[in-house]
Structure 1
Amino acid sequence: MPYEPGTVWQYDVPTTGSTHLPPDAGYGRALTNQGYGFEVAVADLIDNSIDAGADKVVVHFLRDAERILTLLIIDNGKGMDEAGLDNAMTVGRRRAYGDHALGMYGTGLKAASLSNASSLTVVSRTKRSRAAGRRLTVEGIEDSFRCDTVDPRYAQDLVDRYDGIIEWHGTVVRWDQVRAFETVAPGQSDQFLSQAIARLETHLGLYLHRFLQRGLQLDIAVWDVSSSADELGEEVDHIAVEALDPFGYKVPGRKGYPRQFTAPVAGIGDMCLTAHIWPAKSKQAGFRQIGALSERQGFYFYRHDRLVQAGGWNGLRSPEGHHVLARVAVDLPAHDNNVLSLDVKKEKVTVTQAFTLGVDKAVDSDGNTFHQYLGDAEAAYRDGSRRTEIVRKPVTPPGKGIDPKVKRVIKEELPEKGGEEPITFTWGALPGDRFFDLDRENNTVILNKDFREDFNDGRRGGANDAPVSKTLLYLLLEDCFGLGRWERSRQDRVDYWNTILVAAADAHRLRRKQTFL
């Protein structure tokens, strides 16, 4: 309809044509400044793996003696052919998503990666196509969005290197020039990796806990490429990520919970709120090891079973100390709406007043209100505060060499000494009459490597092998670290423990030989 002068307030704005305006290189630079934290970015890439049907994913750090070199994420999903790779690496292209896909906007792979690294390489293969790869760099994007084609021979070699994961199909995402790695000072790589992996393990265990509980195998591994003649290097750490269920208590903090509340939300309809009350003073990892308790009370929003917000009241109320036991699970509606919106990084939900008004009116099947639920959570907190608790002595935390599952239980059961370096377990060359030795200066227990094969049933042990032996030694030796004066009686105890343990190891070895005979 032609424009008639004097009708400037009409609803539809008239147009007379259109012009194609390609993005400026500045848009590419903006991809590197999306505010993706390291853990959030890795989780976003694993979302892509899950969407591709992967049930096995490995986050792989490569390092040498001095530096952390690169990060790779490997999965056994359906993979991509050349056309699929081009689509995935096209900046600004949004692909079609399935009804239950975790991907949303089509920018996560590029934005998450280039917010953390200067170079992104993706190598993939399908059942019907050979390995192929593409590489995006910050410089290439600024150069008219150039995408490089990876040498097919390198692509095949990389896929072959991870044939234990990628059997018939899968994808490798590689980050080079990772900014966080490049800031690590010489000699600080071990400390940085230990802290980075701990944060990553917690984040992935929490935000992907429903997938992990359903069987997703997610591992974090560290390989030192300078420690072996093998071009793959040697594995120096390996963690199987376990689910951190924010509702995983064994007994609720209040009888009758969890309860289902129905909230009438304008623009959406009835929404289900599953209200939980944790037991007071719980030491379980899903309660205490996912962040400050004051920040973890409130709503836990899920989108297609993927946690996208872990705590917070979204304007309904302010966090209060006596509500730290209150957590509410909410599954976002499958259809688009104007009431609840998720940010591009998938870590925060923005709500309108329609949601908070609906929560105010929420009731369960017996007519109990949401406000009564908050009162029950407060009562559970106050009742728990009045109970007398046995105080356990703080310990120096366990570190590398102890199985992550064991470390998690130790953290649940025992408080940690503040400011103490974790106790590390490693294998080394020791005299035949020593089962272990102590490097108290570096908080390390050195185990005699001559006994390693016996405690791994003849197999090559990994970084976290012999979990029972190491855990028993940790419990025995924990109080030998962090001391001022080293007493003769303590040294005598270490000496007779060594004598007895060597005898036990010899007996174990003899039994193994008799079994084989």
Structure 2
Amino acid sequence: MSSEVGIESVPDPGRTMEGLRDTGYEFETAIADLVDNSIAANADVVDIRINQDFRGNVRVSIADNGEGMDRDGLVDAMRYGSPKRSDPASLGKYGLGLKTASTAYCRRLSVISRKDGSAALHMATWDLDHVMQSQKWLLLMSDEPDEEAVEHLNEVAPERSGTVVVWTKVDRLLGNYQDPGGKPAQKALAKKVGELNEHLAEIYQRFLDTKDKRARNVKITLNGEDVKAWDPFQAGLSELVAAESIPTETESGAEAEFTVKAYILPRREEFPSDEQAKAAKLSSDRQGIYIYRQDRLIHDADWLGMFQKEPHSTLLRIEFSFDHRLDEAFHLDIKKSQIILNDDLWTWLKDQFLPAPRREANRRYREGQKKDINKKSKGAHDASNRNIGNKEAEVGGAEVNVTDPNTGDVTVVNSRGKFKLKLPIGAAAKPGEVFIQPADDVSDGLLFEPAIIEQHKAVRINTDHPYYRKVYVPNLNTSVTIQGMDSLFWALCVAELSATTDKTAENFSDMRFEVSRILRKLVESLPEPVTDSDADVA
């Protein structure tokens, strides 16, 4: 009978800390992890400062007016795998974020804190270089905190509790520059700060928006500027087209629920102003499912592998919200940046909840795209009309006379005899547009059809057909290409009238239908055109 003996196996300090630098944090998610800690400490003011000295050294300082910590609490907070928070709804979750998020970008992390009613300041520092040199888990404690950090804390939380987190020896935020303090490096840092502002505005929207009662209000400032809430669902402008609150039971048997809501945003031209349309960030990249835990966005604009992002769903945004009770069920990761849905929920979303909103968003998008294409097509065929007009007499062909413009009855005289047909009879939408006429009402969804426009043999080309959208529209500014395609369809229609008889008219009609069907199939894999409805106005 064997016996087991427990041996304490302490991980190598330096290798462990260096390894945990590569947990996959983006700069924005790293800063957000620290803001989570501030909110978890009941702060209602969080001030972030990111600056660079003339040598290029970057310093990040995040101060809040939260509950603060005494010496023992600070030591616990700096421990890798710090004690579990008493509030399970806390935005801070695993006791690793402060350390892993910070050291992902800096080699020296300091935290200065004080409890309410105490003038005592406590400072603890993890210095990776010191740990590597000593090969010990040595947390550096100081009774003389960093003066700049103390000044920052006193500005944000004067004469009360609060905490400030400071990054120095920042080595992973910017690339290697020949002049670390020069303009290129400064520009790169400014870009990082701008991206961070947008990120914070989105993920803490419910906290930042004073009108939103789902979360308590928190003021976040970045380099002296207030971070303004950005609502992906554009409340008051978008339409809620579907909503479900689903009760569920956790693995432990506790009751919980999650909510799913589908919003369709207006098309760009439907917004009250250009500024509001710009604020909505209308682009294909912004469509998808936005996942919230405890009113904090943790997963941004994605279809979770259900669908590809494509222009027809640009207007659709889905809100998925749950609280801490479902953390284990959704496999929340260490960075609180993604979840894994179980198969049943994933299938329910894909096959039951989302189809109707997707169809409606698709319909509204196509309405806007249709208007854009019709607008773009105006004038695009002028050169074709002029060229064909110059060649009409030389080309010749059948003689066509309108007998009843109301019914479309015409008489066609060609080399095979005299025949009666029905053709669309119309007028020019603009002077000279008598041979090539773009239209969105071509019969039976055909790509093209012969017509008579102001007594001229003409072709009506369907702007709503996929071939027009995917082949014509990207080339509307290329006159030679448009003339070549227009000439081909006009020639087919003139040739049809020259060769038709009573017995073959139906065959020609069937041929146009079959050609339209084949072309529809052939262009399926071509990209959708970029129109005004697709343009990213962010």
TM-score range, shorter chain: 0.5 to 0.7
Partner of 1:190: 186
- Give the 3-state SS of the residue equivalent to 1:135 in structure 2: strand
- 2:122 matched to 1:138? no
Mapping of 1:150-189 within 5 angstroms?
Answer: 150=142, 152-155=143-146, 158-167=149-158, 168-179=160-171, 180-181=173-174, 183-186=176-179, 187=182, 188-189=184-185
Out of 192, 198, 203, the residue aligned to residue 199 of structure 2 is 203
Q: What amino acid does structure 2 have at the position aligned with 1:18?
A: G
Distance, in Å, in 1 between the alignment partners of 2:344 and 2:249 is: 6
Out of 6, 9, 28, the residue aligned to residue 18 of structure 1 is 6
Out of 220, 225, 247, the residue aligned to residue 222 of structure 2 is 220
- 2:259 matched to 1:272? yes
- 2:316 matched to 1:332? no
Out of 141, 146, 166, the residue aligned to residue 149 of structure 1 is 141
Q: How many residues align?
A: 353
Distance, in Å, in 1 between the alignment partners of 2:141 and 2:275 is: 44
Partner of 2:44: 55
- 2:32 matched to 1:43? yes
Distance, in Å, in 2 between the alignment partners of 1:108 and 1:97 is: 17
Distance, in Å, in 2 between the alignment partners of 1:377 and 1:105 is: 39
> Is this contact kept in 1: 2:250–2:325, CA < 8 A?
no
Partner of 1:459: none
> Is this contact kept in 1: 2:257–2:322, CA < 8 A?
no
Residues 197-248 of structure 1 deviation map (CA, whole Å, 9 limit, x = unaligned): 1101001111111111133211111xxxxxxxxxxxxxxxx32110111112
Q: After TM superposition, give the deviation of residue 271 of structure 1 in Å.
A: 3.7
Moved more, 332-341 or 240-249: 332-341
Partner of 2:228: 242
- Give the 3-state SS of the residue equivalent to 1:359 in structure 2: helix
Out of 14, 20, 23, the residue aligned to residue 31 of structure 1 is 20
Q: After TM superposition, give the deviation of residue 76 of structure 1 in Å.
A: 0.9
> Is this contact kept in 2: 1:94–1:107, CA < 8 A?
no
Partner of 1:102: 91
Q: After TM superposition, give the deviation of residue 95 of structure 1 in Å.
A: 2.4
Q: After TM superposition, give the deviation of residue 65 of structure 1 in Å.
A: 3.4
Q: What amino acid does structure 1 have at the position aligned with 2:267?
A: A
Q: After TM superposition, give the deviation of residue 184 of structure 1 in Å.
A: 4.2
Distance, in Å, in 2 between the alignment partners of 1:184 and 1:292 is: 35
Q: What amino acid does structure 2 have at the position aligned with 1:218?
A: I
> Is this contact kept in 2: 1:300–1:329, CA < 8 A?
yes
> Is this contact kept in 2: 1:89–1:134, CA < 8 A?
yes
Partner of 1:376: 360
Partner of 2:395: none
Mapping of 1:82-97 within 5 angstroms?
Answer: 82-97=71-86
Inter-CA distance 270–43: structure 2 relative to 1 (3 Å threshold): closer
Identical-pair percentage:
27
- 2:286 matched to 1:300? no
Inter-CA distance 284–193: structure 2 relative to 1 (3 Å threshold): farther
Q: After TM superposition, give the deviation of residue 33 of structure 1 in Å.
A: 1.2
Inter-CA distance 105–138: structure 2 relative to 1 (3 Å threshold): same
> Is this contact kept in 2: 1:184–1:192, CA < 8 A?
no
Distance, in Å, in 2 between the alignment partners of 1:213 and 1:337 is: 25
Distance, in Å, in 2 between the alignment partners of 1:243 and 1:66 is: 34
- 2:69 matched to 1:80? yes
> Is this contact kept in 2: 1:343–1:349, CA < 8 A?
yes
Structure 2: gaps (5+ residues):
211-216, 377-538
Larger Rg over CA atoms: 2
Distance, in Å, in 1 between the alignment partners of 2:42 and 2:6 is: 41
Q: What amino acid does structure 2 have at the position aligned with 1:243?
A: A
Out of 242, 255, 258, the residue aligned to residue 259 of structure 1 is 242
- Give the 3-state SS of the residue equivalent to 1:347 in structure 2: coil
Q: After TM superposition, give the deviation of residue 263 of structure 1 in Å.
A: 5.2
- Give the 3-state SS of the residue equivalent to 2:325 in structure 1: coil
> Is this contact kept in 2: 1:263–1:361, CA < 8 A?
no
- Give the 3-state SS of the residue equivalent to 2:349 in structure 1: helix
